[in-house]
Homo-oligomer: A and B are copies of this chain.
Amino acid sequence: GKTCTIADYLLERLVQLKVTEIFGVPGDFNLGFLDYIESSSKLEWAGNCNELNAAYAADGYARVKEGSLGVLVTTFGVGELSATNGIAGAFSERVPVLHIVGVPSTAQQKSKPMLHHTLGDGRYDAYLKAAEQFAISTASLQDKSTAPAEIDRLITECVVTARPVYLMLPTDLVHEQISSKRLLTPLNVEPPENDPEIENFVLDEIVKLIEEADRDVVLLVDACAIRHNVKKEVFEFAERTHFPVYSAPMGKTAIPEDYDRYGGIYVGTISRPEIKEKVESAKLLLSIGGLKSDFNTGNFTYQIPTTRTIELHSDHTRIRFAAYHGIGMKRLLPKLTHRMQPFREDAKALTVPKFTLPVPQEDNETISHLWLWPRVGQFFKKGDVIVAETGTSSFGILDVPLPGGSVFVSQILWGSIGWTVGSTLGAAIAARDIGLNRVILFVGDGSIQLTVQELSTMMRTGVKPIIFLLNNSGYTIERYLHGEKARYNDIINWEWTKLLETMGGVEGETCQSYTVRTKSELSALLDDAAFARADKIQLVEMMMPMHDAPRALKVQAELSGKMNKYVSVGVKTASDTL
């Protein structure tokens, strides 16, 4: 039969899953493999500045390219361990990322010489052991005969569970010839069928509860609805029933935010009052893909009793107190929709507060959070990808209704700052691939310092995001949590508008930078058609007050402050109360 190398086999599997770009950094244990990427006509090598940023990019790519996965290639030890936080974030936030690590040859792994990039004590399995903490599955290829099955298993698990996997690829195996026969059968990355008997039982139960609730049902869509690719199924269900739909922060844009039965973001006590009232007073809450983390639930302040709750998850279903393991929503939802009587007319009784955010009148020119977010809300267009960094941005964006077909990207559970810079790169490449519109990033001056070099890779790969940089003189979110005036929350102010040209752009040609100090300046820029066209990479430094934050952050900070014990230290903490 026909043969191919293990490298080709692996890459072909990725191509079959519509991967177009691979992220990472070269190193002598992966150079052999990189040759295959470089010679592939279907795959591009991003060539990131460092491995953490590359992991972030793979994560961002996977989020936007639904149904596909992100791929990261690093080198043994130094490379892979630089990416640990990025991979752990993908694990936490359920993002399918394949981490391929170029490792010493199978012979070296047996003889264990003290190679560079080793710990110097002969342990060749330490990195794998660490990686196991942050991967849903791992494989250390040792034998060409089992390699293709191992690769298939790993990629399948990655996509089906929406979690990172870790693959050790030894320098010698890269080039080994294996049968390519398995490639004729594409991988099945659909979730498994539900057990029909249990599934039917579950459907009956759900339908019964919905009827008992007199169809006073509210849908709450969350992160896993996006990650497990049921946006379409959820929307069909919503359209058929006309039940009001709300979203958790991590589920933002799972349902188009301009949908007329969509009411906005529910986040426990942090919700806008009218939303809180509507969600919590429904007779039944149907939660889809819920991920109840602190920042995603207003510090665990949902006021909805379990007796009024149904939860659909990727691999199980909960009806009140009962768990049905193995009953996943991707298969369940279409059947549930099918069972529903169309309810369009009656549903009108269940009013949905319109999700809007008017631009307030403020009689000063300061760019305040209160004004900023609704104002940029008017700038967004259909199909934009909107990325918000942890900090004032991720809280500020929540209240902004995003246009239909837009995609919201944030890291609300993991919350690693700097992540958006890498992630925007990956998201932008994916967006270009699948024909989305502009990619628009909101990032703090503190956060961008962690990963700033990836601006360079943006220019290398030719993507053209718009980067709104909130210059508020440091770690404002932290000042709200603790240390309002502490020096550790200060940062060095950079010449932000010089960054792009310093890192490879030609100002005015391939890149453009702006500073805006007033509402009028920002408004004028947003109204400028050339700016809005986003035909080069653009960075907008926005001067903002150090001590200003969006409403949701102020409330969250109060709630968190109560949890973390920041006892007074000398004279300091007097000034630390908000």
User: Could you tell me the distance in whole angstroms from the C-beta of A189 to the nearest C-beta in chain B?
Assistant: 22
Question: Does B92 lie within 8 Å of A120, measured CB to CB?
Answer: yes
Assess A126 versus B133: contact at CB under 8 Å? Given A81-B85, A84-B85, A502-B495: yes
A362 within 8 A of B: no
Distance in angstroms from A463 CB to nearest chain B CB is 13
Stretch from A28-36, A57-65, A311-319, A522-530 contacting the other chain: A28-36
A429 CB → nearest B CB, Å: 16
Q: A449-B49, A504-B494, A569-B36 known; A292 and B114 CB under 8 Å?
A: yes
Interface residue A498 (Cβ < 8 Å from any Cβ of B): yes
Q: Which residue of B lies closest to A487 (CB)?
A: B38
Q: Kindly list chain B residues whose C-beta atoms are within 8 Å of the C-beta of A156.
A: none
Inter-chain contact A91/B116, CB cutoff 8 Å: no
A300 to B118, CA, bound (A): 15
Whether a CB of chain B sits under 8 angstroms from the CB of A117 is: yes
- Which residues of chain B are near A133, meaning CB under 8 Å? 123, 126-127, 129-130
Shortest A90–chain B CB gap in Å is 10
Asked if B108 and A563 make an inter-chain contact with CB atoms under 8 angstroms apart, the answer reads yes
Out of B116, B174, B450, B570, which one reaches A412, CB within 8 Å?
Answer: B116
Q: Is the CB of B501 within 8 A of A495?
A: yes
Q: Mark A492-524, 1 if CB is under 8 A from B, else 0.
A: 111100110111100000000000000000000
Q: Is A417's beta carbon under 8 Å from chain B?
A: yes
Q: Is A119 an interface residue (CB 8 A)?
A: yes
Report whether B492 and A294 are in contact in the complex, using a CB–CB cutoff of 8 Å: no
- On whether the beta carbons of A572 and B35 are closer than 8 Å, the reply is yes
Are A481 and B28 touching (Cβ within 8 A)? yes
Complex Cα spacing A291 to B486, Å: 44
Number of copies of this chain that the complex holds: 2
The count of chain A contact residues (Cβ–Cβ below 8 Å) is 106
Known contacts A114-B292, A294-B113, A82 near B52 by CB under 8 Å = yes
Q: How far is the CB of A36 from chain B (nearest CB, A)?
A: 6
A148 at the interface (CB under 8 A from B): no
Give the distance to chain B from A92, nearest Cβ to Cβ, in Å.
5
Which one, B92, B415, B504, contacts A492 given CB within 8 A? B504
Contact present for B92 and A118 (CB under 8 Å)? yes
Nearest CB on B from A52, distance (A): 6
Question: What residues of chain B lie closer than 8 Å to A266, measured between beta carbons?
Answer: none
Q: Is A578 engaged at the interface, CB distance under 8 Å to the other chain?
A: no
Interface status of A26 (Cβ within 8 A of chain B):
yes
Enumerate chain B residues within 8 angstroms of A564, measured Cβ to Cβ: 28-29, 31-32, 104-105, 171
Cβ of A336 under 8 Å from chain B:
no
Closest-CB distance, A415 to chain B (whole angstroms): 4
A166 to chain B, nearest CB (A): 12
The answer to whether residues A81 and B92 also contact, given A49-B449, A114-B293 and a CB cut-off of 8 A, is: no
Residue of B nearest to A119 (CB): B92
Q: Decide if B49 touches A52 in the complex (CB within 8 Å).
A: no
Residues of B within 8 A of A565 (CB): 32, 105, 171-172, 175
- Give Cα A302 to B34, complex, Å: 33
Cβ distance A141 to chain B, nearest Cβ, rounded Å:
14
Chain B: which residue is nearest A482 at the CB level? B31
Residue A453 lies at the interface, judged by CB distance under 8 Å to chain B = yes
Chain B residues near A25 (CB-CB < 8 A) = 450
Render A328-344 as a binary contact track against B, CB cut-off 8 A, 1 for contact: 00000000000000000
Contact A50 B105 (CB under 8 A): no
Contacts A/B (CB < 8 Å), 17 sampled: A26-B489, A31-B482, A34-B486, A36-B569, A38-B487, A82-B84, A82-B85, A82-B416, A92-B120, A108-B563, A114-B291, A115-B294, A116-B295, A126-B133, A130-B130, A175-B569, A494-B502
A interface residues with partner B (beta carbon < 8 Å): 25-29, 31-32, 34-39, 45, 47, 49-52, 77-78, 81-82, 84-85, 88-89, 91-94, 104-105, 108, 113-120, 123, 126-127, 129-130, 133-134, 171-172, 174-175, 291-295, 300, 412-418, 449-453, 456-457, 459-460, 475, 478, 481-483, 486-495, 498-499, 501-504, 560, 563-567, 569-570, 572-573
